[in-house]
Structure formats: structure tokens, C-alpha cells
Amino acid sequence: MKHFVLAGSFASASLIAALLTSFNVWSSEQDSWQVLQKAAIAARALSYKGVFVCQSAKQIKSVEITHLYDGQHEFARNVVLDGAPREVLNQSGNVVIYNPRNGKIVIEKRRAQNMFPAILPTDLNSIKASYSLRSGEIERIAGRTAQMLVLEPKDNLRYSYRFWIDTEYGLLLKSVMFNNRNETLESIGFNQLALMNTVELDWFKPKIDHNKSYVMEQEQELIADAGSPIDWEIKALPPGYRKVDQMMRKVQGKSGPVTHVIFSDGLAFVSLFIEHVAKPTKEKPTPKNVLTTTGNTSFYANVNSGHLVTVMGDVPEATVVQIANAVVFKK
Amino acid sequence: MSEQISALMDEEIAVEDAAHLISSMQSSKQSADAWSQYNLIGDVMRGNQLLSKDFKQNLMLKLDQEPTVLAPKSAQSNAEKVAGLKDKLPAKWSIAASVAAVMVVGWMAMHQVQSENEAPAIEMAQADVVEQAIPNEYMAAHQSSAPSATSYYIQSVSYAE
């Protein structure tokens, strides 16, 4: 009888333990998503100043960032400290780049979508659908204590990431992207950081070089075309990817405008270009299909029903091929 | 003259109609003074309380109600076409939030008028052999509309220096 009671209490204890463990796993993943959510907001809603280093396959550049949120608007000035003094000014998502080029400063206008440390969207649902998240070690980054998080794709159609998040400020301190063979593709992280307690904006202007002429970049985008395509449609996109933008644009060296469609899974961005190709002649045969990867970027071009379809992005090759194959031309 | 400069800033005068204004601005001291006046206004809007609080609030309110397209219309652009497309174009610039940056860009836009005949071609380099695997023209288009976090600072497309 005593044995039975013991066995029974042991059984219920292990049941409770099992429940607790699974709850802990669940709650720790929930906690990690909360940390990530906080990081997405902190990057936009905190005021801070620091230096971060970005590293791609070939280059390393240090960037000085000053970021201010005044309660309504976001202002950021990023100055590249190594090499040409490129400056990137961001005002609530509108980006102006002062790009020294050929003895001039070319002014380029862009829209911000993933400027470090705000590389995560504030709505993480699309990321949750395609990636799983777990917490790693506590590590020290830029003199700060950081929680490491590992974001892994649920399939082979995107890369994995490690994020280091300041345990006190909640700010993303470092992000590293890995390919499917666990090789580092790019890394971007602070090596010094301090919060700012100011609303002054006297720093929010580029340093002007009066000896250089400033010219606006030629407009590349012709039409922000949200309308439905005329002679093609997109079917069966790879899971997790959705269309985020579509436009007609000029592409250097192309006579006509090119349709440019952008897809994203929340973190990775993929471009699709569609253009007419002339009927093949002896002198100009049909272009060959190309599948290549340079650094982080996969590139695929093929000819489909008299159109050149080109797809590229910081994603595995399988993804660009699937997106190209999702384009169906109406006969 | 000062009113004209102000109007130019507010885009009431098209830049192409204001060539005389810009050239005289570069020579005339009075105009240069007017220009620094506008920078002073910028200081005020950034929080230096030189004027009454109401002035700033009223001005901010007015500016808020009037989103301003910052870049001057190209002299060559087809007015009708632009008008038709304008509503579809994203990311209009509001000058309310920071006069400072806007001033600078505005100043540069004026300089652009001078050099519009030498508009920048996207010069592609033969610098990097491996990067040539992906055609530069597509890389440039991709990075300008779908940049990665590092491509704001590190350009895979290399330009002739």
C-alpha cells in the first residue's frame, strides 16, 4: 500500500515535471520572442550614439550612428568612418545618402526598411511563421551585457541569424547571418554604444564639402506600380515570402522599363525583374540561364515566354529559383 | 528677393523658373543674408526659443498640413505625367520635422541646377572580377530598393572612383 502511494506520487510528480518542462520550453520561446520584439522597438524608440562595424564577405567598415526619437519622429545620421565619407541620413524611414563618387557627392533617396539596429520589423508575425527562436548564452558585446538569440529557418529557403540583445536597454547590439553550412555571411554590431539624453537636432545634417559639387541621383523608379500585372502573374511563391513592393524602373543598359517586384519573409528581401527580350537572332541568341552566388547574394536568370526573368537576393539559391518559377506568363 | 527665396523653399516657384534667383543669390550679399535667416529659422525650429511659442506651433501646424515634395521638379519632366504619377509615388518629404536636413538638401538641389547637364551616369567599374558574376545593373537596382543591413554602407556594386 505504501509502495502504491509512493509510486502514485512519483508518477504525478513526474507528470507535473514533464508539464513544467514543456511549459518552460514554450515559455522560454515566448520569452525569446518578447526579447526580440522589444529589440525591434528599442532600435526605433531609443536615442543613442555609437559606432558599429559591418562586415561582408570582402569588406569591413566602421559606421558612426546617432539616432534620436523625439516621441514622434525618428532621426538617424550614419557616417562611414573608413574610406569614402559616405553619409546616410534617415528621417522616419526616408533616407538620403550622400555618396562620394567620381569627385562629386551623389545624393540618393531611399526608403529605410532594415537599417541597423532596426533590422527587425516591428510586426514579427511573418518571421515567426518561417523561423524558430531559442535563447543562447549571455555574452559581452561593446562593453554591454547581451542575451544571445538564435533564429533558425524552418526550411532551407532562408538563412539563419544570431542576435545579441542588450539585457538592460533591450537594443540589438549585434546581428550575424549564417548560411546553411553555418558559415558567416555578414555581421553587423556595435563596438561602442551610449544612450543619448537630448532632443537637440543640430547634428542632423551632413558634413558639407564646399569643394565638391552635389548632384541628385538620376531617378530610377518610374512608377510605383501596385496594379495587377498585364501579361504575367505570380503563382506558388515559396512559403513565407510575400510581395512587398512593385514598380517599373530604369535599369542601366536596358532600353525599356523593367518591372521590379520585391518579396520578403520579414527579414530577407528578394528582387524579381521581368523584361521583354527581343526575338533571338543569329547575332543575338537567347541568353543562357544563369544560376550563381556571390557572397550572400544568389542570382538566377532565365528566359520564359519571350521574357527575361531575373531573381536575386540574400537567400539560398533554391529560393531565387522557386520565385523565378512562380512567374507564369499568360498565353 | 527674400520672399522669392522663401517661395522657392516652399516650392511656390519652380526651380527651373528661378535660375536668375539662384545665380543672383550666389552673388548677392542680401540673398546670402536671407539664406542665413532661413538657417536661423531652422535653429528656432530645432528648439532655440528666440520667437514666441505660438509662432513655432503655428508654423509647425502649417507645415504639418502641407507635405512638401522636396526634390525640385526636373526641368525636362512632362508636367502631366508627373502630376498623374505623383500620387502613386511613395515617401513624400515633410519638412516639418527637421528644417536642418531639408535646408541642406534644398541648397544642394539648387546646386544641381547648375550641373544638371552633367547628370550622374551610373558608372560601373571593372574593379572586382568576382562581383561581375552578378550583373552590376541588377545588383544596383536590387540594393537601391531592397537593401540589406550592410549594403547601405558596403556596396557590392563598385563604382569607378
Instruction: Tell me if domain A8-214 and domain A221-329 are identical in fold.
Output: no
Q: How far B101 CA lies from chain A's nearest CA (Å)?
A: 5
A221-329: CATH architecture:
2-Layer Sandwich (3.30)
Closest to A142 measured CA to CA, from A192, A93, A100, A98: A192
Neighbouring residues of A49: CB distance < 8 A, sequence distance ≥ 6:
A64, A65, A66, A67, A193, A194, A196
Please count the helices (runs of H) and the strands (runs of E) in chain A. Answer: 3, 21
- Taking a C-beta distance cutoff of 8 angstroms, is the pair A269, A113 a contact? yes
Where are the domains positioned within chain A? 8-214, 221-329
Q: Which residues of B touch A189 (CB under 8 A)?
A: none
Q: What number is the ipTM of this complex?
A: 0.82
A215 touches chain B (CB under 8 A): yes
A213 touches chain B (CB under 8 A): yes
pLDDT in tens, chain A (331 residues): 445 555 556 566 666 666 666 666 666 888 999 999 999 999 999 999 999 999 987 789 999 999 999 999 999 999 999 999 999 999 988 999 999 988 889 998 888 788 999 999 999 999 999 999 999 999 999 999 999 999 999 999 999 999 999 999 999 999 999 998 899 999 999 999 999 998 889 999 999 888 888 888 876 666 655 554 568 889 999 999 999 988 888 887 777 788 999 999 999 999 999 988 877 777 766 677 889 888 788 999 999 888 899 999 999 999 999 999 999 988 6
Superfamily of domain A8-214: Lipoprotein localisation LolA/LolB/LppX (2.50.20.10)
B89 φ, ψ (degrees, to nearest 5): -75, 135
Q: Which residues of A touch B134 (CB under 8 A)?
A: 292, 294, 297, 299, 312
Neighbouring residues of A186: CB distance < 8 A, sequence distance ≥ 6:
A54, A55, A56, A57, A176, A177, A296, B148, B149, B150
The answer to whether the pTM exceeds 0.90 is no
Closest to B39 measured CA to CA, from A188, A202, A268: A202
- Of residues A78, A92, A247, nearest to B97 (C-beta): A92
Neighbouring residues of B20: CB distance < 8 A, sequence distance ≥ 6:
none
Neighbouring residues of B155: CB distance < 8 A, sequence distance ≥ 6:
B143
Place of cell 537567400: A315
- Does B150 sit within 8 Å of A55, measured CB to CB? yes
Reduce the DSSP state of residue B150 to 3 states and report it: coil
pLDDT in tens, B54-93: 555 665 666 566 555 554 444 444 444 444 444 444 433 3
Output the CA torsion sign for A218, A219, A221, A222. negative
Burial class (CB within 10 angstroms; exposed 0-12, middle 13-18, buried 19+) of A152:
middle
